[in-house]
A and B are shown apart, each in its own frame.
Chain A
Amino acid sequence: MLHQPITKASVERLDAEAVNAARVRGPLYEKRRKIFPKRTEGRFRRFRWLVMLMTLGIYYLTPWIRWDRGAHAPDQAVLIDLASRRFYFFFIEIWPQEFFFVAGLLVMAGFGLFLVTSAVGRAWCGYACPQTVWVDLFLVVERFIEGDRNARMRLDAGAWSLDKIRKRMAKHSVWLAIGVATGGAWIFYFADAPSLLASLVALDAPPVAYTTIGILTATTYVFGGLMREQVCTYMCPWPRIQAAMLDENSLVVTYNDWRGEPRSRHAKKAAAAGEVVGDCVDCNACVAVCPMGIDIRDGQQLECITCALCIDACDGVMDKLGRERGLISYATLSDYAANMALATSGGTAEIDPTRVRDANGAFRDKVRHLNWRIVFRPRVLVYFGVWAIVGLGLLFGLLARDRLELNVLHDRNPQFVVESDGSVRNGYMVKLLNMIPEQRTISLTIEGMPAATMRVAGQATGDGRSITIGVEPDKVTPLKVFVTLPKGRLAEAEEGFSLIAEDPSSHERDVYQANFNLPGAARR
C-alpha cells in the first residue's frame, strides 16, 4: 500500500464555489456575488487574532498614553499638534523644519514593504492591512449575531421577518459603532484626547472633529462592512504592486497539487479500485473559509491576500483524515516547481502523487514544503541592508540634531543705513529657536569685523559685541539686531562676520555666516 488508508472519513463536504471560478465567470459587468466566509481554527487563525488584537490595540489606545513634558508642552505621548506645528512621539519632539524624519520613516516603510514582500510574500495584505483587520473584525460581529456560514446564507436567502430585521439592525448598529470608534480614535491623535472626548460628548468640539469622525465612520462601515473583498480586488493598488515584487523564491499560499491531484470525493472507493488518487478529497473547506471567495486550488490569483485561512481549514481536514498537513501551505514557487517536476516525471506525465512518496508512503526527502534558506536570499538581505541604513541614519540624525537654532534674515530694504558719524549700519532679523521645553539663557555674539558693534532693538544690555537673552521654552524668539561698522573701518566689511547663538550652560551653539552691505560696494 503506497498510501496511508483513510481511517476516519467523517469529513464534511461543503457546497462552496469560488467567485472567480472559470466556470462561473460571466460577462464583464456583473453583480457582486456575496461571500459568507466560514469560521476557521488553526495556527494561522490564532496568529491573525493576535495581530488583530495588537494592531487594533495600538490604534485605539495610543492616544491615551500620557507622557509628562512639564508645563510647556502637551502631556500626550503621541500627538500631531497642527495648530502649534509640533509632532510629539514619546521622548521625540519634531519641529516643522525637521519633517524629513517623517519622510525618512516613509522611505523605511517602503523598503520595509519590499523586504517583507520579497521574504514572506503578501504578509501585509494577509495580516496587517487595516482593510484586512477591520473586515476580520466586522466578520466577527456578523458571525456572532447571524451565526456561521450556513446560518448566514439561510438568513440572507430567507424572506424578511422580525428576526431577520432584528439581526440585521443589530449587526449594522455594531458595525456603525465600530466605525464611530475608528473615526473617533483617529482625531484623538490630533488633540488632547481626554479633553477632546469631553467636548465631543458635550457637543462643543470643533466641527472638523465631527466631520472627520463622520467621514471615517462612513469609510470604515462601507469598506469594512459592505464592500469587503471588493476593496482589495477592485480598488486597491497594492495587489498589483505586491505581485510585481514577488519572485519564485517568495512565500505564497500554494495548493500542492503534486500531492493532492487527482482529487477524489470517494478516495477510499477509488483507491480500492486501484485508481491513483491524491490527498485532496474535494471537501471545499478551503473555498468556504476564504474571505476573498476564491479557490486556491485554481493556482496563484490576484485576489489571494495570503491570509492562510485555507491552510488552517485544509490542515484540519488532513488531521481528520489522518494524513500529513500541508496539502495547502506556504511555499515558494521554486519549491513547488521542483515537487511538481517530481510528481509529473519532469512534466512528461499526469500528476501521480505516488511518485513523491517512498515505499513506506512517507514523502521523499526531496519534497519540502518550505526551505528557509531560500527565503533569506541576497535580494532580501539587500532590502534589509537599505532599510537598516536608512533607519540608523534617522536614529543618528535624531540623536545628533540641534535643539538650538539660529535663523537670520538680512534686511534688504534698505540694505544699509549711513549714520551721521559716517558709520554704516545693517539690520538683521534674527530668530532664536529654542527647541527644548525649558527656559534657556542664550548668548548672541558677533565674531569677525573687530570694530563692529551690535545692538538689539528694545534691549539695553550687552557690551556691544555680545548680548544674553532669556528665551522661552519651545518657542521662537524674534530679535531685531543692528550691526554698525564705524567709518574708517569699512574695509573690514569684506570679511563679513558670524552671528553665534550659544547656550553657555550646555555649550550648544549655532553659527550664521552673515554679510555686511556697504554703499557703493558690490552686493554680495
Chain B
Amino acid sequence: MADKHKHVDEVSGVETTGHEWDGIRELNNPMPRWWVYSFYATVIWAIGYAIAYPSWPMLTEATKGVLGYSSRAEVSVELNAARAAQAGNLEQIASSSVEEIIANPQLQKFAVSAGASVFKVNCAQCHGSGAAGGQGFPNLNDDDWLWGGKPEEIYQTIAHGVRHAPDGETRVSEMPPFGDMLTPEQMQQTAAYVVSLTQAPSQPHLVEQGKQVFADNCASCHGADAKGNREMGAPNLADAIWLKGEGEQAVIAQMKTPKHGVMPAWLPRLGDHAVKQLAVFVHSLGGGE
C-alpha cells in the first residue's frame, strides 16, 4: 500500500508516486493530454477492429468478423487474376506446335520461364537444377542428343518418356549384353577402338582388331563410323560426351552388362501445356537444334 501521507516534491511542488530509488523520487506528472487521447483512440479502434475483422481464437477457428474478410480469399483472388492473365498465352500454346512457340518471341519467353519452373519441380531430381545431368543422366545443355534435339523431337521424348513401358509411344532402345557374346580380349580391343576415336587409347596396338570387332557387332546400331543413330537412340561414340562414363573401363562395363536409364512419360502427368513449355525450355538451354 502506498503511503497515506502523500509526499510532495519540494522543488517542483508536484506529488510523487511513492517510488524511490537511492533517494530519487518519481514525480507523478500527468500524461500529456494528446498522449492520453491517442491511447483512448487506439482502444476504440481495437474494439472496432476486433468486431470488423477475424480476431478472437475459438476452439476450431477464429471469429469471422462482420466484414467477412479473409486473407485466403484475397490470395485466391490474386491467383485467379494471375491465371486469367496467363490464359491468353496458354491458349496460344495449346494451339501451336513447339516450333511455332519458339518462333514467337513473346510466347517463347513465356514458355521458357514457365518451363523452367516446371523443370525445377519435376526434372531437376535427375537432370540437375541447371539441367547439366550426371553420369547416366543426359546433360541437356550440350549439343549431343540421343533422340534428336529438334523441338518436336524433344517434345516427343518428354511426352512419352524413354523405356517407359506403360506408354505405347515411348522411346525404346536396348543394347544387348555382350558379356556372353564376346571374349574379354575382344571387348578390350573394341574399347581401345572406341576410345581412339576421340583420344589416345592405352593400348594402341589393339585398335585395328577392335575396329573389326566393332564392325561385326556394334556398327548395326552405332553406325559404321560409330556416330550413333538417333532413330534407334544409339549414342554417338565418336564425340567427347560420355553418358555412362569416360575411358576404356567404362566402355567395357557398358558392353558386358549395359545399363539403361528410364525416363517416365510426362504427358499423362503434366499435360500438353507443361510438356510443350518444358520442350521450349530444354531447347533454349543452348544446344537445341
A464-487, CB under 8 A of B: which get 1 and which 0? 000000000000000010100001
Residues of the A chain whose Cβ atoms lie less than 8 Å from the Cβ of B241: 418-420
Say whether B132 contacts A417, CB under 8 Å.
yes
User: For chain A residues 413-450, which have a beta carbon within 8 Å of chain B?
Assistant: 413-414, 417-422, 425, 427
A457 at the interface (CB under 8 A from B): yes
A27 at the interface (CB under 8 A from B): yes
CB distance from B241 to the nearest CB of A (A): 5
Residues of the A chain whose Cβ atoms lie less than 8 Å from the Cβ of B26: none
Most B-side CB within 10 Å, residue of A420, A422, A458: A420
Among B50-58, B138-146, B180-188, B258-266, which stretch is in contact with chain A? B138-146
Bound complex: CA of A420 vs CA of B240, how far in Å?
5
> Among A417, A421, A422, A487, which residue has its beta carbon within 8 angstroms of that of B139?
A417
Residues of the B chain whose Cβ atoms lie less than 8 Å from the Cβ of A27: 12-14
Say whether A28 contacts B27, CB under 8 Å.
yes
B169 at the interface (CB under 8 A from A): no
Which chain A residue has the least Cβ–Cβ distance from B199?
Answer: A422
Bound complex: CA of A425 vs CA of B30, how far in Å?
76
Say whether A418 contacts B12, CB under 8 Å.
no
User: For chain A residues 369-427, which have a beta carbon within 8 Å of chain B?
Assistant: 411-414, 417-422, 425, 427
A144 at the interface (CB under 8 A from B): no
Say whether B142 contacts A419, CB under 8 Å.
yes
Bound complex: CA of A422 vs CA of B139, how far in Å?
14
Say whether B142 contacts A413, CB under 8 Å.
no
Which chain B residue has the least Cβ–Cβ distance from A420?
Answer: B239
B191-221, CB under 8 A of A: which get 1 and which 0? 0000000100000000000000000000000
B286 at the interface (CB under 8 A from A): yes
B156 at the interface (CB under 8 A from A): no
Residues of the A chain whose Cβ atoms lie less than 8 Å from the Cβ of B130: 411-414
Residues of the B chain whose Cβ atoms lie less than 8 Å from the Cβ of A422: 198, 239-240
Say whether A420 contacts B286, CB under 8 Å.
no
Q: How large is the interface on B (under 10, 10 to 19, 20 to 34, 35 or more residues)?
A: 20 to 34
Bound complex: CA of A385 vs CA of B97, how far in Å?
69
Bound complex: CA of A27 vs CA of B11, how far in Å?
10
Which secondary structure dominates where chain A touches chain B? loop
> Among B141, B239, B240, B284, which residue has its beta carbon within 8 angstroms of that of A414?
B141
CB distance from B132 to the nearest CB of A (A): 4
A29 at the interface (CB under 8 A from B): yes
Residues of the B chain whose Cβ atoms lie less than 8 Å from the Cβ of A427: 286
CB distance from B107 to the nearest CB of A (A): 13
Given A414-B130, A427-B286, A28 contacting B29 (CB threshold 8 A): yes
Say whether A425 contacts B239, CB under 8 Å.
no
Bound complex: CA of A29 vs CA of B131, how far in Å?
72
Say whether A414 contacts B132, CB under 8 Å.
yes
Say whether B132 contacts A413, CB under 8 Å.
yes
User: For chain B residues 258-289, which have a beta carbon within 8 Å of chain A?
Assistant: 284, 286-287
A8-44, CB under 8 A of B: which get 1 and which 0? 0000000000000000000111000000000000000
Say whether B132 contacts A457, CB under 8 Å.
no
CB distance from A22 to the nearest CB of B (A): 15
> Among B13, B128, B131, B236, which residue has its beta carbon within 8 angstroms of that of A420?
B236
Given A28-B27, A427-B286, A420 contacting B144 (CB threshold 8 A): yes
B17-45, CB under 8 A of A: which get 1 and which 0? 00000000001011010000000000000
Bound complex: CA of A151 vs CA of B206, how far in Å?
119
Bound complex: CA of A427 vs CA of B27, how far in Å?
72
Bound complex: CA of A422 vs CA of B240, how far in Å?
5
Say whether A457 contacts B12, CB under 8 Å.
no
Given A28-B12, A413-B132, A419 contacting B240 (CB threshold 8 A): yes
Say whether B30 contacts A29, CB under 8 Å.
yes
Residues of the A chain whose Cβ atoms lie less than 8 Å from the Cβ of B198: 422
Say whether A425 contacts B129, CB under 8 Å.
no
CB distance from B27 to the nearest CB of A (A): 7
User: For chain B residues 95-140, which have a beta carbon within 8 Å of chain A?
Assistant: 105, 128-132, 139
A449-462, CB under 8 A of B: which get 1 and which 0? 00000000110000
CB distance from B221 to the nearest CB of A (A): 18
B220-254, CB under 8 A of A: which get 1 and which 0? 00000000000000001001110000000000000
Residues of the B chain whose Cβ atoms lie less than 8 Å from the Cβ of A417: 132, 139, 141-142, 286-287
Say whether A425 contacts B286, CB under 8 Å.
yes
Residues of the B chain whose Cβ atoms lie less than 8 Å from the Cβ of A421: 239-240
Bound complex: CA of A482 vs CA of B141, how far in Å?
11
User: For chain A residues 56-107, which have a beta carbon within 8 Å of chain B?
Assistant: none
CB distance from A83 to the nearest CB of B (A): 19
Residues of the A chain whose Cβ atoms lie less than 8 Å from the Cβ of B287: 417, 419
Bound complex: CA of A29 vs CA of B31, how far in Å?
9
Bound complex: CA of A417 vs CA of B240, how far in Å?
11
Which chain A residue has the least Cβ–Cβ distance from B241?
Answer: A420
Bound complex: CA of A457 vs CA of B141, how far in Å?
13
Residues of the B chain whose Cβ atoms lie less than 8 Å from the Cβ of A482: 286
CB distance from A230 to the nearest CB of B (A): 11
Which chain B residue has the least Cβ–Cβ distance from A417?
Answer: B141
Bound complex: CA of A125 vs CA of B29, how far in Å?
32
CB distance from A462 to the nearest CB of B (A): 16
CB distance from A343 to the nearest CB of B (A): 36
Say whether B286 contacts A487, CB under 8 Å.
no
Bound complex: CA of A482 vs CA of B240, how far in Å?
19
Bound complex: CA of A29 vs CA of B13, how far in Å?
11
A317-329, CB under 8 A of B: which get 1 and which 0? 0000000000000
Residues of the A chain whose Cβ atoms lie less than 8 Å from the Cβ of B240: 418-422, 487
Residues of the A chain whose Cβ atoms lie less than 8 Å from the Cβ of B14: 27-28
Which chain A residue has the least Cβ–Cβ distance from B27?
Answer: A28
Given A27-B13, A28-B12, A413-B129, A420 contacting B29 (CB threshold 8 A): no
Q: Which 8 A-B pairs have the closest CB atoms?
A: A413-B130, A420-B239, A422-B240, A414-B132, A417-B141, A420-B144, A414-B130, A29-B29
Supply 16 A–B pairs (Cβ within 8 Å), ascending by A.
Answer: A28-B27, A28-B29, A411-B130, A413-B130, A413-B132, A414-B131, A414-B132, A417-B132, A419-B143, A419-B144, A420-B142, A422-B198, A422-B240, A425-B142, A458-B105, A480-B286
Q: A417-B287, A418-B142, A425-B141 are in contact. List 13 more A-B contacts (CB 8 A).
A: A27-B12, A27-B14, A28-B27, A28-B29, A29-B32, A413-B132, A414-B128, A417-B132, A419-B240, A419-B241, A420-B142, A421-B239, A427-B286
Q: Which B residues are closer than 8 A to A by beta carbons?
A: 12-14, 27, 29-30, 32, 105, 128-132, 139, 141-144, 198, 236, 239-241, 284, 286-287
